[in-house]
Structure 1
Amino acid sequence: MNNKDQSIANDQMANERTFLAWIRTGIGIMVFGFVIVKFSLFVNHLPSRFFQEPDLPKNVSTILIGIGLVLTGAITILLSYFRYKKTNQLLEQGKYLHSTVLLTFLTVVIIAMSIIIIAYLILASYPLK
């Protein structure tokens, strides 16, 4: 195997490692969302004697936040697949160009979800009466 072939193989393997890292990131985001939904459902099924207030409201916002995180993880995995395929194609053509579109998108979505979760936690800590 000559140096050019070795370089191409290294680039392809690096692309695969990056893709697998994105898959792990997407799965991690999805798991976090799943845990939020399951915990919310668990709390809603506890007997009311465990709470100071007799009526425990159904917490739809927690479920929506969890579903939003699961969707974010799924979108991350889908977009990382498209990025992997595009990068693979460009590497085969010898025309690879670096792109930060996926990173920018994911950063904006995760910051938005973080702000929503922080706002929810603040509002849940100080209920309006």
Structure 2
Amino acid sequence: MSPKNDQEIMNEYLSNERTLLAWLRTGIGIMVFGFVAVKFSLFLQQLPVEYLAETVAPQTNFTIYLGIGLLITGALTILLSYLRYRHTIKLLKDGKYQYSTATLTFITMLLFVLSISLIAYLIIASNK
């Protein structure tokens, strides 16, 4: 295997930065969705009863907790992506980079659980 030239090394660092930026956008998107869930739930709780005469607003705070969970997940995504970025920089400098999906798997499973919770909540709320 031939030694890497400066252009190949620079491409690896820039690729790492693009990955960080993509994860930052993902984290922000998750947080926005959580914020909207919380604000919508609070909005429904503050509506006068006459506007909801034909519908029954859920009396639980589950949506608020789910939204807060999404906000925390978004913040964790941003933090973990930054830590992963720093770790990858260190490995690239040492020439020992090994691909790993641990962080990606963790965030994916967390979002999957939150998504299933939201789906279950919406199904239960629609049957009342």
TM-score greater than 0.5 by the shorter chain: yes
Equivalent pairs counted in the alignment come to: 125
Distance 2:36 2:114 in 1: 15
1:47 alignment partner in structure 2: 48
8 Å Cα contact 2:31/2:73 also seen in 1: yes
Residue of structure 1 equivalent to 2:62? 61
Counterpart residue number, 1:8:
9
Report matched runs for 1:82-97 at 5 Å.
Answer: 82-97=83-98
Match of 1:114 in 2: 115
Structure 2 partner of 1:23: 24
User: 1:126: how far off?
Assistant: 0.9
1:69·1:113 contact (CA, 8 Å) conserved in 2?
yes
Residues 48 and 56 of structure 1 are in contact (CA less than 8 Å); yes or no, is this contact kept in structure 2? no
2:125 alignment partner in structure 1:
124
What whole-Å deviation, never above 9, does each CA across 1:62-101 have from its counterpart, x for those lacking one?
1000000000000000000110000010011111100000
* Shift, 1:52, TM fit: 2.8
**RMSD value over aligned CA atoms?**
1.6
CA distance in 1, matches of 2:59, 2:72: 22
- Taking structure 1 as the reference length, the TM-score comes to 0.91
* Offset at residue 59 of structure 1 (A): 3.3
Calculate the TM-score normalised by the size of structure 2: 0.92
Amino acid at match of 1:98: Y
Report Cα offsets for 1:2-60 as digits up to 9, x if no partner.
x6111111100000000000000000000000000001111111110011369855431
Which runs of 5 or more structure 2 residues have no equivalent in the other structure? none
* 53-62 or 103-112, which deviates more: 53-62
How many angstroms does 1:103 deviate by?
1.0
Distance change (3 Å), C-alpha of 1:41 and 1:8 = same
